Structure 1
Amino acid sequence: MTPLKKYIRPGVLRNLLRKAAEMAGGGCSLAISFEGEVVIVEGSAPAAAFGEDGPGQISVPIHFDESHSGRLFMRRDEPDERVDCARLLDFTAYSIQELVDMERARRSIAEEALAKYRELALFHRSVPNINTSLHMRDVVNALIDECRLENYPGELGMIFLLEPSRKVFRLAVQFGFPFGTYLQPMVDSDLFHEVAVSGRGEIVNDLDKEDRWDNELPGLGSMILIPINSPNRCEGLLILASRKTGVFEAAHRRSLSTLASVAGISVSNAFNFEGVQKLMSAILQALAEAIDARDPYTAGHSERVAHLAVAFAHALNEAGGYRGGQFNDDELREIYYAGILHDVGKIGIKEDVLTKRTRLPERRMDVVRARFQLLGQFDDFDWGRAYECLCNVNRAMVPEAADLEYVRKLGTRVMRRNGADLRYLYDDELENLLLAYGNLTRDERREIQRHPAESERILQHIPMQDDFSHLLTIIRQHHERMDGSGYPDGIKGEEILLQSRLMAIVDIYDAVTQERHYKPAYTRSEAMKILQKEVDEGKLDAELTAFFLKNIENIESLSEQVKVTRATHLSALGNLANL
């Protein structure tokens, strides 16, 4: 069932099959297969009764995408001449295909919006850094720093700038090459010349097969060349390279082109921000959905938090307000959009951190397994037991103390062979495996914890209406805790905005009641116990949490009403106080 969710919601599909069975007058079973496996059956017939060449049935194909397909089957227990089964089956298949195609289109739009926003976010971050000076040296150093900050795959980098008086490109700055390496021959290559003349970036992932490359800089395997263009000319070239082949992708060219355009415009001292800001405002809603979609386990989280937060605030209003204060319409809308946008900063978190399932990824565990097998051939070492223990630790949220101690001892074990020390486990592996709780290292947790501040930084470039004066503060503070243990600022108590304390409660509630890659979904009663534990530890506002727990059914009901009033832009949410 899981692969099918990508193309169509199973509940919608079941409803369609049920309606089709009803239209057939009963005595009819329908089923749908995905890649040859029957995944949904509606009717009395078992799944095994359906197949490509099964007797007493008819079927038509369903195309999910270019590489995945399935079939829609219909069986009748009793013939009924009043029903044209073939036409009914065709109509049902047509309806399913239309829904699949619409879902594919929606996902495509979301992916395009996310890709565009990555460019825009990078642009907004890099402009103040690169445009801090009109001195070219400062600009190119800032550009190199931005390249390093983005962690592009190339371990080598160069920037060549055009000397206007001599019309010659000269090396301005480099990184990764040994000190004293002469890099000027790069300018003599046909590849460099063509990119500079055409003004279009290029990726070459195997330089040995490139006709325009004559090994001007020996030892390079792949390269990406991006022109630094101003409105009037090519000011220079930004080049990242690697000794490996096949390391660069089209996305790298797009983002590097964005950086280079900022640098080029800073050289000519002219750029226009107005159009970009309008575009960013227009894609806020699509942005939140696209960010949630990075991880299928968090899909819809931002929207649910927005609905619950507004419902929570409205429930407080119904009960006379919080300490006598009422949320007005603008404040309710502000809370709504704070919920929608509270995780925007996750756009800057690396994918492998955001969706990390285990302490070490599967590929690294394969490497460890091969290493253990090899060492087991030369040492008195039960590699199978050791690897099984590592697998248990790798998957555990809270590993057994004995397993952690065993891993710790493995980390100290070294085999000396042919004059070399061969370690059983390396420092970066131990750092992940010896975590007492969870699967994130200190650096990874720190990266996750910077997303509220990153959200504020991204959104501060977008002009919001004056009535939303607390929006950025709510977003920045939604992970702060009453005892000061939260982040990013470690503020506590009444220093935390009321709306932020409210947001923290519903954020936790939605997170624990939804399945994540590291845990199952908790029931409402289990989630309530977790919230109460957070109160007992002094982390959540006790008064607000008590109200939330007491009125949880009413708040969830109100959140469904908020969902109906969902807006696509700031001015269309409506009068939420009249829910």
Structure 2
Amino acid sequence: MTGAASISRLVKKSFLGAYLEDALTLFEAGSFLAVIHQPDAYALAGTAGPAAHEDLLQRFADGVIPAPHTRELAVEGVVFGWLVLDTPSHAEASALDFVARSLREIISRELLRRGLGAETLEQYREVALLQRAVGKLNGSLDVYQVAHSLLDECMATSFPADHALVLFLDDASRTYRIVQSAGSRELPYAERIAQSRLFSEVLANACWDDADGEDTLASERMVKGEIVNDLTRDPRWDVDVPEVSRMLIVPLATSRIIHGALVMASGPSSRPFGSGHLKQTTTLATVTGIAMANAHHFHQVQRILMSLIQSIATAIDSRDTLTSGHSQRVARIAHSLARAVSQDRREFPDFAFTEMELQEIFYAGLLHDVGKIGVREEVLTKATRLHPRKLELIGMRLELWGAMHQREWTDLFERLQAINSAYDVSEEDEALLYRLANKSIAIGEATIEVLSADELSEFLTPRGNLNAEEWEEIKRHPAESHRILENIPFTSHFPRILQIIVQHHERLDGSGYPAGLEGDELLLQSRILAVADVYDSLRRDRHYKKALSQEMALAILEQEGRLNKLDARVVRVLTGALESVEHAEAPEPRAFGLGSPVDHP
């Protein structure tokens, strides 16, 4: 038996252990329940019952555990592990079946949740491409400029194409002609592409059936492109165009009109086109068709974009299970805290937000971490200062040093392991690290340091687990959020939303990022969002620390206020209204139109 996937990647060990403990009550006293998975070799993902079962994995691997005592945990044909019952007498089949069915359902639900997150993230990436293209392609109503902008976007994206062409339909001659082209070199006889049966049929498939004398929209065929990765095998390729063996064709169309086509072509040495390329070019072609039609369609696209804001926030958070729901919570806390600030006549006697300003803060909270889409996943989910493989290599050097000098080394390595996962580095830890950095191993004429300068630097990260380079990557995300969102027309009702987002990691004393702003340079809305963001981060588990209690989180916020990092007035408002802030409902979501806000669809 071999598992195709691991249950430990889907279900936390603590949850699995507690679940098995509950399930153990269904069986005879002295029984032992275990879930076995196979990441590299058979391993225990969770257990419940007596501890003396060290040989269980070996017995399972050897196939000596009776078949009635095991159940395969498979979902949709994929094996995630096995449920094993070790019992003094006979297996209780119905109870074991029940436990196995429950575990399969848990696995199935987790797979569904993760699949929805991945699907939403993919939708976001497509929407991000669409949003960027909208800004470029709708900058002009001149069709030639639109075509030029389309080709610029195509060549800037990693498509495996040597040439990109835009062809428009000439109304007079009813033939297609090239109006813009781009590529690494000239493409001889490119105009022959439009003379091929392949080109004609692809565009015909984007037309509408008029059999009943009316224009009936065949929506499933609208803007439908095609990929041919071997033109020599396609009988529709009935023309000779040197240097072209692969082609991607996407019509440029609006609701009832075919305007032209985007063609991407390459030679046999290029990578084949894939479905992702077709999806991206179809997106670009759709936006181009909209730009060629009128600005009204642009308004519709913006409505679609903004209706996905909630999903975007969920997609960003779903990259890391520990931050799941962070953007939603921060938006809700910031919105409620801003309302409390408006109502607090002691700390803010002359200030009150309008309802639109409160809505603006809510959406800023939803979108404040959009820029993390550009942060590597290994940085977002990093749990230790050094990668486990690096620490293992240090352990090998330390063991070699101990053997050569007849010194005990295991205690030293255990301390390194503790330092690697600790949130802070103590003076004692720092002294130990410097001592180890001065130790070396002589092998012939070569000298190997037990702890290299780079490794020492990573270990000495004062707080958290990110090295200087990784921290700089994280610090770019507010500015990246601004870059991603700046082309979305948030309307005159939300003029400060981008400023709020880009400032949410700034601090009053100038120690924040990305711009090191201070004091009155920071909007009050940004200060509120900063307090909400820090509070939620403190109250939730992170890879480098456990969640703090409400009291400890408030104590840290108050300390940050005394140090003039966070706004002490906002912190005091939060402390005084904490229960109402934490349990407040999120406002009714709205979409951003080009004019007045409209109800969310």
TM-score range for the pair, normalised by the shorter chain length: 0.5 to 0.7
- Residues 1:60 and 2:77 are matched in the alignment: no
Distance, in Å, in 1 between the alignment partners of 2:46 and 2:294 is 61
Give the Cα–Cα distance (whole angstroms) in 2 for the partners of residues 133 and 219 of structure 1.
33
Cα distance between partner residues in 2 of 1:541 and 1:20: 48
Q: TM-score, normalised by structure 2?
A: 0.65
Provide the residue aligned with 2:412 in structure 1.
none
User: CA shift at 1:174, angstroms?
Assistant: 2.0
Q: CA deviation at 1:482?
A: 3.3
Q: How many residues align?
A: 490
Closer, same or farther: CA 17–211 of 1 in aligned 2, 3 Å? farther
For the structure 1 residues 99 and 469, does the alpha-carbon distance in structure 2 shift closer, same or farther, using more than 3 Å as the test?
A: farther
Report the equivalent of 1:40.
Answer: 46
**Which residue of structure 2 lines up, in the alignment, with residue 475 of structure 1?**
501
CA shift for structure 1 position 62: 1.2
Corresponding position of 2:18? 15
> What are the ranges of 5 or more consecutive residues in structure 2 without an aligned counterpart?
207-223, 388-444, 461-466, 591-601
1:451 aligns with 2:480: yes
Distance 1:4 1:447, change over 3 A: same
The residue type paired with residue 39 of structure 1 is A
Partner residue in 2 for 1:284: 309
Aligned residue number for residue 258 of structure 1:
283
Q: Aligned AA for 1:58?
A: H
* Partner residue of 1:438 out of 469, 476, 498: 469
**Which deviates the most, 310-319 or 256-265?**
310-319
Q: Greater shift after overlay, 475-484 or 133-142?
A: 475-484
| Letter of the 2:37 counterpart | F
Correspondence list, 1:330-345, <5 A: 335=361, 337-345=363-371
Say if 1:16 and 1:92, in contact at 8 Å, map to a contact too. no
Q: How does 1:67-466 map to 2 (within 5 A)?
A: 67-77=78-88, 85-154=92-161, 156-178=163-185, 182-199=189-206, 200-207=224-231, 210-213=234-237, 216-220=240-244, 222-243=246-267, 244-269=269-294, 271-272=296-297, 276=301, 279-280=304-305, 282-295=307-320, 298-303=323-328, 305-306=330-331, 309=334, 322-323=347-348, 335=361, 337-347=363-373, 349=374, 398=458, 437-439=468-470, 448-454=477-483, 456-457=485-486, 460-461=489-490
Contact 1:452 1:478 (8 Å CA) reproduced: no
Structure 2 letter corresponding to 1:15: A
| Cα distance, 1:3 vs structure 2 | 4.7
Letter in 1 for 2:503: Q
Identity rate, percent? 30
- Contact persistence 2:164–2:181 (CA under 8 A): yes
Cα 1:355–1:19 shift into 2, 3 Å: closer
Q: Which residue identity does 2:291 align to in structure 1?
A: S
Runs of 5+ consecutive residues of structure 1 not aligned to the other structure: 362-384, 401-435, 572-579
CA distance in 1, matches of 2:476, 2:250: 29
CA distance in 2, matches of 1:514, 1:500: 21
The residue type paired with residue 72 of structure 1 is L
**Structure 1 CA distance for aligned equivalents of residues 457 and 97 of structure 2:** 49
Distance 2:232 2:563 in 1: 62
Match of 1:543 in 2: 568
- CA distance 1:181–1:273, shift in 2 (3 Å): closer
- Of residues 589, 596, 599, the one that matches 1:570 is 589
Counterparts of 2:183 and 2:475 in 1: how far apart (Å)? 27
Amino acid across the alignment from 1:61: E
Q: Could you list the per-position Cα deviations for residues 130-179 of structure 1 after superposition, in whole angstroms to 9, with x for gaps in the alignment?
A: 22322221110121223244444435322222222122222222222325
Shift in CA distance, 307/39, structure 1 to aligned 2, threshold 3 Å = farther
Compared CA separation, residues 185 and 328, structure 1 to 2 (3 A): closer
Larger-gyration structure (1/2)? 2
Contact 2:327 2:365 in 1 (8 A): yes
- Which stretch of the first structure deviates more once superposed, 100-109 or 135-144? 100-109
Residue 269 to residue 449, structure 1, CA distance change in 2 (3 Å): same
The CA RMSD measured in Å over matched residues stands at 5.0
The alpha-carbon distance between structure 1 residues 314 and 173, as it changes in their structure 2 partners (threshold 3 A), is closer
